[in-house]
A and B are shown apart, each in its own frame.
Chain A
Amino acid sequence: GNSVTQMEGPVTLSEEAFLTINCTYTATGYPSLFWYVQYPGEGLQLLLKATKADDKGSNKGFEATYRKETTSFHLEKGSVQVSDSAVYFCALRGFQGAQKLVFGQGTRLTINP
């Protein structure tokens, strides 16, 4: 079945550091890939997405490229801010439909000033 594996956290960085959160997946065919973010006390919200190989999703300075050859969708940001502190979830949607998102375990990110 479909699955998503994220790098284990927690991750702690200083402000303006470079961020990478690794995400790899297992799926048949060509899934759509997502990064969701959960700020403290809130529900998840979509950060970015990519629906086909080599697509790059981007939002709020974050980027992720859909790499089919390595089955990866790593999240990057060049200069993080304290306000980026949150839990980040990688997810995929296979052929079964919009509601059957499969999530990774989440990576907690803390940015220190």
Chain B
Amino acid sequence: NAGVTQTPKFQVLKTGQSMTLQCAQDMNHEYMSWYRQDPGMGLRLIHYSVGAGITDQGEVPNGYNVSRSTTEDFPLRLLSAAPSQTSVYFCASSSAGESGANVLTFGAGSRLTVL
């Protein structure tokens, strides 16, 4: 059981370039989300989705786009990378059921550096 899979693990971009961070889960979870982790700031929610075709903004959505065309996949797109987007990005998922809704399963992270 793979859980939550993120690719790539590492990426270096130049300012202005675009890229997509991939996230896939095989647990049939309804909820998926993207967080960024910065030193001294914990994790901050970028975007989230409560099901296929439904997405919403989190705390720090500017500069990022998402879509949810399938239950399994939730890619995060950087349209024009900026140095402020240098961070570690985590994808997470959870079940909508009563016992699962509180618990997030995280991917291993994607470290992005924007020069």
Contact = CB atoms under 8 A, between A and B. Distances in A.
Interface residues of B, number: 28
A101 interface: yes
Interface of B: 4, 31-33, 35, 40-45, 48-50, 58, 90, 92, 94, 96, 101-109
Given A43-B109, A46-B103, A100 B96 contact: no
Given A43-B109, A106-B42, A101 B104 contact: yes
B50 A99 contact: yes
Nearest to A98: B101
Given A32-B102, A42-B108, A44-B106, A101 B96 contact: no
Main SS class of interface, B: strand
A46 B104 contact: yes
Interface string A42-83: 111110010100000000000000000000000000000000
Interface of A: 4, 32, 34, 36, 41-46, 49, 51, 89, 93, 97-101, 103-106
9 contacts: A34-B102, A43-B90, A43-B108, A97-B31, A98-B101, A99-B94, A100-B58, A105-B41, A106-B42
Given A46-B103, A49-B102, A100 B4 contact: no
Given A41-B108, A100-B58, 16 more contacts: A34-B102, A36-B104, A42-B108, A43-B90, A43-B106, A46-B103, A97-B31, A97-B101, A98-B31, A99-B31, A99-B48, A99-B49, A99-B58, A99-B94, A103-B44, A105-B42
